[in-house]
Amino acid sequence: MTAIVTMGDARDLLLPDESVDLIVTSPPYYSLRSYIDDGKHYATQIGSEPTPEEYIANLIMCTREMIRVLKPSGSIFVNLGDKYSFQKSLLFLPERYRIACTDQLGLTARAMIVWHKTNGLPDAARDRAGRSHEDWIHLTQGVDYFSALDELREPYSNKTIRTHPTVYGAGNHGQGSQTLRLANHPLGKLPGSVWPIPTQQLRVPPGLGVRHFAAFPMEWPRRLIVGWCPADGVVLDPFGGTGTTALVADVLGRVGINVDASADYCRIALWRTQDEKQRARVVPQMKEELA
């Protein structure tokens, strides 16, 4: 297939209506860093708003655009981090965003998946629990959408195999009616709501001239693409950053579209999607699934 890298604004995507099968993205976190092009902060970047309310409003504007370009059968997966106020209180930005998506946009919140960062950086806090997770929200436009979850099923534990039935049958669940008992699926159990996935380091060639960058691990888009995108589908990341989603989509045989407002980040994404060593880093995960 191919990976497409383009400079653009997530609030005004230059894509046709209903042209995308899956959106996997991680918007800039609020008040975390200033993104630069050629050493200078560029204006109107998301994450630098004066207030959390304006930040959420911008994210909702972006999500409206995602809905416009998404097919009715598509899914949206968004990873969003939180922020502490100067009074040491969490701002609950992911929660605010998720509620706005359902209340203001009418989206269906199908699941929230916890990303357990198994190798996260030490937390400097002295009076609270350390933060070792972030959340991914799965959003759809309704109850009918594409999924291939059988591709993500995991082996049952030996205890589950011993104690659970192997065929479907009637059973009384205490509500006065006969219902179906869940049985061991021949392909294994569904993935749970907590995914332990380590962070993944990215070294950018010095010649690209970009000092600051962030990338989520390839395993996130790999699982989401396998589970919720058709084999010939189109995958979009409207906050494409370093190109992780487009790179993985391309290696998995889909069309990956990377959109970012930063020319610096677009240079990184172009390099990553074309570099054979970067592409080869996706392949071991695929081999593990086929083993």
Is 0.85 topped by the overall pTM? yes
**Quick one: pLDDT at residue 290?**
40
Say whether pLDDT at 205 is over 80. Answer: yes
Q: Which single residue is written with the structure tokens 């086929």?
A: 290
> Which tokens hold the place of 101?
């998506």
Which residue would you say has higher pLDDT here, 243 or 291?
243
Spatial separation of the C-alpha atoms in residues 221 and 214, rounded to whole Å:
15
> 41: left (phi > 0), else alpha (psi -120 to 50), else beta?
beta
Spatial separation of the C-alpha atoms in residues 117 and 217, rounded to whole Å:
10
- pLDDT tens readout for residues 94-122: 999 999 999 999 999 999 999 999 987 77
Q: What is the mean pLDDT of residues 208-224?
A: 85
Q: What pairs with residue 75 in β-bridges?
A: 22, 140
Say whether pLDDT at 213 is over 70. Answer: no
Pairing of strands 234-237, 20-25: parallel
Domain boundaries, the chain: 3-152+192-290, 155-189
Spatial separation of the C-alpha atoms in residues 247 and 138, rounded to whole Å:
21
Do 143 and 222 form a contact (C-beta atoms < 8 A)? no
- Residue 163 burial by Cβ neighbours in a 10 Å radius (0-12, 13-18, 19+): exposed
Tell me if the domain spanning 3-152+192-290 has CATH number 3.30.70.260: no
Do 12 and 64 form a contact (C-beta atoms < 8 A)? no
Say whether pLDDT at 158 is over 80. Answer: no
Listed in order, strand segments (DSSP E) in 141-280 are 170-172, 178-180, 194-196, 234-237, 255-260
Choice among 84-93, 207-216, 220-229 with the minimum mean pLDDT? 207-216
Q: How confident is the model at residue 192 (pLDDT cuts 50, 70, 90)?
A: very high
